[in-house]
Amino acid sequence: MADAHECSTSGLDFSKERNAPRARRKKLLSADYTIKKRQPFDLKKKRDKDVFITNKTNFKAQLKICEKLFNNGAGEVIIHGLGAAVHRACSLALQLKEIHYSGIDFDIKTSTTPIIDDFEPLQDNADYETINRNNSAIHIRVFRKFSIGSLKYQE
């Protein structure tokens, strides 16, 4: 059986690898470039039950959209939040649960979403640049615990 000390003599020195110089990114000045941010979610596959949360949209308007979906007979609503909107997406789901008197439940998934930023030069002597970065995302499936049809009075 290999000992922990024997494994460290395999020739790899992680402290050197960690302190190795990395390729430095050029500093891109906003005066020289315009920034175009690509859409992180695939909007072509957007379903009727998907709600994308942003920090710019009014919270009550987002709540009304979710309520309208539930009132039109949708059994579930999927709330997507990205980056700073993760907290807002959680608040929206909790508000829905409070409105429905705990008659709904959640299925929560988190992920890391790659985002691509395009830098388009304002002058002819500069090159086009792209920067890849990651951002946190949350996907909350809000669904009814029981069917509304089963609650109706039956004779």
The predicted-structure confidence for 81-113, as pLDDT tens digits, reads as follows 999 999 999 999 999 999 988 889 999 999 999
pLDDT tier at 15, thresholds 50, 70, 90? low
Residues 6+ apart with CB under 8 A from 77: 49, 51, 66, 69, 70, 96, 141, 142, 143
pTM over 0.75: no
Instruction: Locate the domains of the chain by residue range.
Output: 33-40+49-144
**Under CATH, domain 33-40+49-144 is a member of which superfamily?**
Alba-like domain (3.30.110.20)
Other C-beta atoms closer than 10 Å to the C-beta of 1 total 3
pLDDT digit string (tens) for 121-138?
Answer: 888 887 888 889 999 999
Query: Residue 75 CA to chain centroid, in angstroms?
Result: 22
CA dist., res. 30 & res. 99, Å (int): 44
Chain mean pLDDT for the chain: 80
Q: Which residues contact 123 (CB under 8 A, 6 or more apart)?
A: 32
Assigned token pair, 66:
């979710």
Query: 146 and 103 in contact (C-beta within 8 Å)?
Result: yes
* Nearest partner of 65 among 109, 96, 21, judged by Cα: 96
